[in-house]
Amino acid sequence: MKHTSWLAVLMCAGGLVLSSGIALGEDEQEVLMLQPDADGIQRAFIVLDSYEYTPPHISVEAGAPVEFQLENQSFITPHNFIIDHPEAGLQQDVNVDAGDSLTIRFTAEIPGTYMFYCDKQLLFFPSHREEGMEGRLEVRPASR
Ligand SMILES: [Cu+2]
């Protein structure tokens, strides 16, 4: 991952177009299925790097609190985590600087599929989201 970041940085500095490397199709991506811990919180650790979230596809249960620890493993590139569905209890817009990590907390209220993404953009280059930096949050009905 670090190597990829460096490559991206060097290529951006050189003004070259970086083609995205090997990409799995959406259907091939595994879903991280979160269950509440003993304290009732659903937790995930998510790595932010250029230009992806790992894991990119997460399932949570509606009505139970969620904690995502976001860690930016890029060398110098800031990333963010945006999800903008306030009607479903999902409204986050946080910046994570290179090397930093932080935790966001929310409770998804309405089952459905919601995208999260990074909208960082350097000058005239494509935004990180356009480079593929987005993920999917599946909210499933409460189990009880
Ligand atoms: Cu980004």
Q: Which among 73, 53, 79, 101 has a CA at the least distance from the CA of 6? A: 73
Q: Average model confidence (pLDDT) for the chain?
A: 86
CA distances from 135 to 37, 61, 97, 138 (A): 23, 17, 19, 10
Helix segments in the chain, DSSP class H = 2-13
Q: Is 74 a domain residue?
A: yes
Q: Is 19 a domain residue?
A: no
Q: Could you report the per-residue pLDDT of 57-87, keeping only the tens digit for each?
A: 999 999 999 999 999 999 999 999 999 999 9
| Predicted TM-score (pTM) of this structure | 0.79
Under 8 Å between Cβ of 76 and 9: yes
**CA 144 to ligand 1 center in whole angstroms:** 36
**CA 129 to ligand 1 center in whole angstroms:** 7
Distance CA 63, CA 110 (A): 8
Q: Domain count of the chain?
A: 1
Q: Is 54 a domain residue?
A: yes
Q: Is 6 a domain residue?
A: yes
Range of the domain at 128: 2-13+37-140
Rounded to 5 degrees, what angle do the CA atoms 19, 20, 21 make? 110
Rounded to 5 degrees, what angle do the CA atoms 56, 136, 31 make? 60
**CA 114 to ligand 1 center in whole angstroms:** 18
Q: What's the first-to-final CA gap in the chain, in angstroms?
A: 39
Q: Is 25 a domain residue?
A: no
Q: Could you report the per-residue pLDDT of 79-128, keeping only the tens digit for each?
A: 999 999 999 999 999 999 999 999 999 999 999 999 999 999 999 999 99
**CA 120 to ligand 1 center in whole angstroms:** 5
**CA 61 to ligand 1 center in whole angstroms:** 26
Q: Is 22 a domain residue?
A: no
